[in-house]
Structure 1
Amino acid sequence: MSETVASPIRIGKPSIGALGVLALALGTLQSVVEPALPLLQRELDVSPAEGALIANTVLITGAVAAPVAGKLGDRYGGKRVLVWLMAVVSAGGLLAGLAPNLPVLLLGQVLQGVMVGALPLSFILVRKYLPTEQTQVAVGLVVALFTGGGMVGTLIAGPLAEALSWHWMFALPAIAIIATTLVLVRVMPHDQPAPSAGGIDWPGAVLLSGALLALMLGLVVVTRGGLPPAAIGAVAVAVAGLTAGWVVVERRAASPMVDLRMLARPAMWHSVVLTFVMTAGSGLVAFLMLQLFAVSADGYGFGLNTTDIGLLLLPGAIAGAVSDSVGGVAARRFGPRAVVVVGTTAMAATMIALASLHTEEWQLVLARVLIAFVAGIGTTALLAGITTAVETENIGIATSLLVVTRVIGLAVGFQVGGAILTAGTDPTTGLPAESAFITGFTTAGVVSALSLLVVRITRKGARA
């Protein structure tokens, strides 16, 4: 008598569709803040530096959640952990939708940040339940819908805020996430946990979160002015202490969240430095542009509403999405170093040009498209290049380090932009002076240009 072999469980279009719609809703929730940031600053009566925190709390949580989510999914099952995360994200969206002040909104943003873990968990599920030839198609669909959700959020933030209120920018996507998660619970089968080597680096995750939050909050309080030197020193000590503690924990952890030992390799830390500089520069300029679109003052500024800002940001969002696919191709054809050098040079030139050319909307839109495109190509080329510079078993560690660096760089850029504008705010008008924008654009350009010199020097040292 022959034994009956159980057929492997497969998922169909309803399950893939639910994952795709969920990615669309998550991308929308993640992106509504950017075009509405000037509006949120006015409604909550906060400074540009405090406003930057609204966007950065999602990035900070995401930087920690991204490497942890996959391990949790392997240990407890992708579906179970995905549902847990969506419960947290939904609570964050609803809390932000009800937020009466900045602290409550920030808490909602912190909870929403775990949405970054949804993508690796979705990939776990499609890999388990689809044949190889269909997995790539499903992964591409999920990523494309997440990117598309980002564009949807950019466009609907203004109409929702102006027709209803800014609270609905967060509440409606959160409601969509809740509904889609309920569908996913019914149509997606439970997956079995996989054997997991090593534990989860919770101390490292807590210390990294604390260091990043201390840095962002420190930039806010320092730029307000009026702090005694001892208080400023205390902030610096707190940031340095948390960072040093994180480094110690990561070096000793059996299964670190970010394996810092990889930084001993010249190719790795060259890539980390360049990734940080490119994303920090693009984040700084993106924040300055947002504020410049919204500010209304004699001689500069445009006084645009959230809907208009969203429309002007859309070309840059499209350029950034396209650049991710172009970067890998360019790296294969011309080499990662050539792509990064050309891209960083173009970024520096564009940023410095903005210091004097920022009086017309088309100048800012064109600059944002160029910066988003070359930054996307450059960071993707670095990711592609590092996969050939390290051993196969270390590719995951190396690329995760660059992904975390990319998120941290963007967050730092936003916060530095907020700090520059807050420090340059006229106390009589409550508006940043035009000179503060010029300082910000110039700073971003000079740092981008200097990074090329740093890489050249370190490259010579590595050869020697």
Structure 2
Amino acid sequence: MTTAVPPPVTVGRTALGALGLLALATGALESVVTPTLPLLQRELGMSPSEGALLSIVLLITGALVTPIAGKFGDRYGGKPVLIKLMSVVSVGGLVSALAPNLPVLLFGQVLQGAMVGALPLSFIIVRKHLTEGESKVAIGVVSGLFVGGGMVGTLSAGPVAEQLSRHWMFALPTIVVIGATVATNRLMPHDPPGRADDNGGVDWPGFALLSGTLVTLMLVLMLAPDLASEPLALVALVLLLVALAAGWVFVERRATSPMVDLRMLALPAMWKSCLLTFVICVGTAGAVYLVPQLFAASGDGYGFGAGATLIGLYLLPGAVAASLAGPIGGLGARRFGSRAVVTTGVVLMAVSLLAVAAVHTEVWHLVVGKAVIALANGLCVTAMVTSTATSVDQGDTGIATGLVLVTRVLGFAVGVQVSGAILTAGIPAGSDVPAESAFITGFVVAGVVTALALLVTRTMRKGVTE
């Protein structure tokens, strides 16, 4: 006799609104350091190397926490793990807001990095309580609000820090995070554990090796330009990176309960999603880094010498486009399939990057180009996440989307570091401003890398439209 499976508990718009507000607030909290890094360096007496460490520590923590959060969400239920994770983020935000010095601020940023794991947990909750078609739209909305929150934080952090203080730029989004976490806990129905038979503990050896791999990767990317004159030191770092990565793969393949299921990564749908996400985010990071730099530059016949507030206004259309990309991408994936949405996004992004490389003599050239690139990136990432979330078993949703989101973080970090290295190499002797050719090279490299994604998109399944 077959037992009927009860229908999922209906989720109201208020509960989904609380989840969306949480995504918006965490996105804002994640992004406040980047535009205010020079101010933080002045107030806390940081050296450039310490500033670089502050700018990447949240990414490293997020990349480590995300797969664990997704796995625990699949095992124990998305909501309880999400609430615990956001409690850690809230403490981190308060520590950062009250930090009197760099070590305390670094500790706060380490705790805040747990926020990156909130997205796969949100996807677990949404998928358990909504139909497949509705979940695609909801995932797109949550993803779009997280991206939009990041842009809000980028635009508002500078004015808040200058008009109030650096403490308030952390405190304000943290207050919203706390309120949204409480609302989500009260309004969102409980989701049952997904894997009662999975009793394996945390893969601490895998966690340690992955931590070392990511830290070493960031050091290689950050120090490569400075170590060019010391090839032995650079080779030693690269060999250490290879050894740590190989050790991590060895441990994960033999672990009873691995931190990251590499067998899942071997599935065609998964490795294609991760490869596409990495390549697309490398290209996007080029624009994210290069466009503000070109706005601020004041070279001979290029650049605009804009200040931080003006740059924020120039980036506003991109913020709007990024916020809209999530819902549009979710709807597009539902109507036309993920392959069509990703292909459209890749073409838009590659053409925009190459167009900006060729034409960048007016402010509106960069404003329009950055907005189209932000929209295209949002379409691509949302389509990849929704495709991944709905192409694996429901019990693997957190692990699968966590892999894609970790790949997104790594792609962005690599793209920023490569773009920075191109500009550094393009500074003429006796000058502190990169040559125009360096900006052109950076945009062309980003465009070509993005276009390579088309080699993978053509092998994707068209997907099912609802």
Instruction: Quote the residue 1:462 is aligned against.
Output: none
Are 1:56 and 1:415, in contact at CA under 8 Å, matched by a contact in 2? no
Are 1:357 and 1:363, in contact at CA under 8 Å, matched by a contact in 2? yes
Deviations 1:272-314 (A, max 9, x none): 3222111111012211112222334443333333332222223
Are 1:154 and 1:313, in contact at CA under 8 Å, matched by a contact in 2? no
Instruction: Quote the residue 1:441 is aligned against.
Output: 443
Q: Report the alpha carbon displacement of residue 188 of structure 1 after superposing the two structures with TM.
A: 9.0
Are 1:293 and 1:309, in contact at CA under 8 Å, matched by a contact in 2? yes
DSSP 3-state at the match of 1:344: helix
Instruction: Quote the residue 1:349 is aligned against.
Output: 351
Counterparts of residues 45-444 of structure 1 (less than 5 Å):
54-72=54-72, 81-82=81-82, 84-97=84-97, 105-121=105-121, 146=146, 149-177=149-177, 195=196, 197-199=198-200, 200-225=202-227, 227-331=229-333, 333-386=335-388, 397-425=399-427, 428-444=430-446
Letter in 2 for 1:325: P
Are 2:20 and 2:141, in contact at CA under 8 Å, matched by a contact in 1? yes
Q: Does the C-alpha gap of structure 1 residues 438 and 148 become closer, same or farther in structure 2, counting only changes over 3 Å?
A: closer
Deviations 1:362-397 (A, max 9, x none): 111211121122222223333444567666666655
Q: Report the alpha carbon displacement of residue 85 of structure 1 after superposing the two structures with TM.
A: 3.1
User: How far, CA to CA, are the matches of 1:283 and 1:212 in structure 2?
Assistant: 18
Letter in 2 for 1:110: V
Bigger shift: residues 142-151 or 377-386 = 142-151
Q: Does the C-alpha gap of structure 1 residues 291 and 72 become closer, same or farther in structure 2, counting only changes over 3 Å?
A: same
Are 1:37 and 1:290, in contact at CA under 8 Å, matched by a contact in 2? no
Q: Does the C-alpha gap of structure 1 residues 189 and 337 become closer, same or farther in structure 2, counting only changes over 3 Å?
A: closer
Are 2:117 and 2:402, in contact at CA under 8 Å, matched by a contact in 1? no
DSSP 3-state at the match of 1:256: coil
User: How far, CA to CA, are the matches of 1:65 and 1:220 in structure 2?
Assistant: 22
User: How far, CA to CA, are the matches of 1:265 and 1:15 in structure 2?
Assistant: 34
Are 2:27 and 2:149, in contact at CA under 8 Å, matched by a contact in 1? yes
Q: Report the alpha carbon displacement of residue 232 of structure 1 after superposing the two structures with TM.
A: 0.5
Q: Does the C-alpha gap of structure 1 residues 331 and 216 become closer, same or farther in structure 2, counting only changes over 3 Å?
A: same
User: How far, CA to CA, are the matches of 1:39 and 1:274 in structure 2?
Assistant: 35
Q: Does the C-alpha gap of structure 1 residues 148 and 230 become closer, same or farther in structure 2, counting only changes over 3 Å?
A: closer
Bigger shift: residues 220-229 or 395-404 = 395-404
Deviations 1:233-261 (A, max 9, x none): 11101211222122222222333333222
Letter in 2 for 1:430: D
Instruction: Quote the residue 2:464 is aligned against.
Output: none
TM-score by length of 2: 0.78
Are 1:280 and 1:409, in contact at CA under 8 Å, matched by a contact in 2? yes
What RMSD in Å do the two structures reach over aligned CA positions?
4.2
Q: Does the C-alpha gap of structure 1 residues 178 and 394 become closer, same or farther in structure 2, counting only changes over 3 Å?
A: closer
Q: Does the C-alpha gap of structure 1 residues 227 and 27 become closer, same or farther in structure 2, counting only changes over 3 Å?
A: same
Bigger shift: residues 344-353 or 293-302 = 293-302
DSSP 3-state at the match of 2:224: helix
Q: Does the C-alpha gap of structure 1 residues 107 and 297 become closer, same or farther in structure 2, counting only changes over 3 Å?
A: farther
User: How far, CA to CA, are the matches of 1:150 and 1:343 in structure 2?
Assistant: 20
User: How far, CA to CA, are the matches of 1:68 and 1:399 in structure 2?
Assistant: 12
Are 1:275 and 1:405, in contact at CA under 8 Å, matched by a contact in 2? yes
User: How far, CA to CA, are the matches of 1:138 and 1:265 in structure 2?
Assistant: 25
Are 1:386 and 1:399, in contact at CA under 8 Å, matched by a contact in 2? yes
Q: Report the alpha carbon displacement of residue 156 of structure 1 after superposing the two structures with TM.
A: 1.8
Q: Which runs of 5+ in 1 are unaligned?
A: 1-8, 460-464
Q: Report the alpha carbon displacement of residue 62 of structure 1 after superposing the two structures with TM.
A: 2.0
Are 2:314 and 2:367, in contact at CA under 8 Å, matched by a contact in 1? yes
Q: Which runs of 5+ in 2 are unaligned?
A: 1-8, 461-466
Letter in 2 for 1:359: T
User: How far, CA to CA, are the matches of 2:34 and 2:116 in structure 1?
Assistant: 17
Q: Does the C-alpha gap of structure 1 residues 389 and 197 become closer, same or farther in structure 2, counting only changes over 3 Å?
A: closer
DSSP 3-state at the match of 1:302: coil
Bigger shift: residues 26-35 or 51-60 = 51-60
Instruction: Quote the residue 2:463 is aligned against.
Output: none
Bigger shift: residues 94-103 or 195-204 = 94-103
Deviations 1:182-224 (A, max 9, x none): 7888999999977361433333333323222211122222212
User: How far, CA to CA, are the matches of 1:123 and 1:266 in structure 2?
Assistant: 21
Are 2:75 and 2:198, in contact at CA under 8 Å, matched by a contact in 1? no
TM-score by length of 1: 0.78
Instruction: Quote the residue 2:31 is aligned against.
Output: 31
Q: Report the alpha carbon displacement of residue 264 of structure 1 after superposing the two structures with TM.
A: 3.5
Bigger shift: residues 362-371 or 320-329 = 320-329
Deviations 1:34-79 (A, max 9, x none): 44456557776765x9766544432332222223224445767767
Letter in 1 for 2:206: G
Q: Does the C-alpha gap of structure 1 residues 356 and 329 become closer, same or farther in structure 2, counting only changes over 3 Å?
A: same
Letter in 2 for 1:65: V
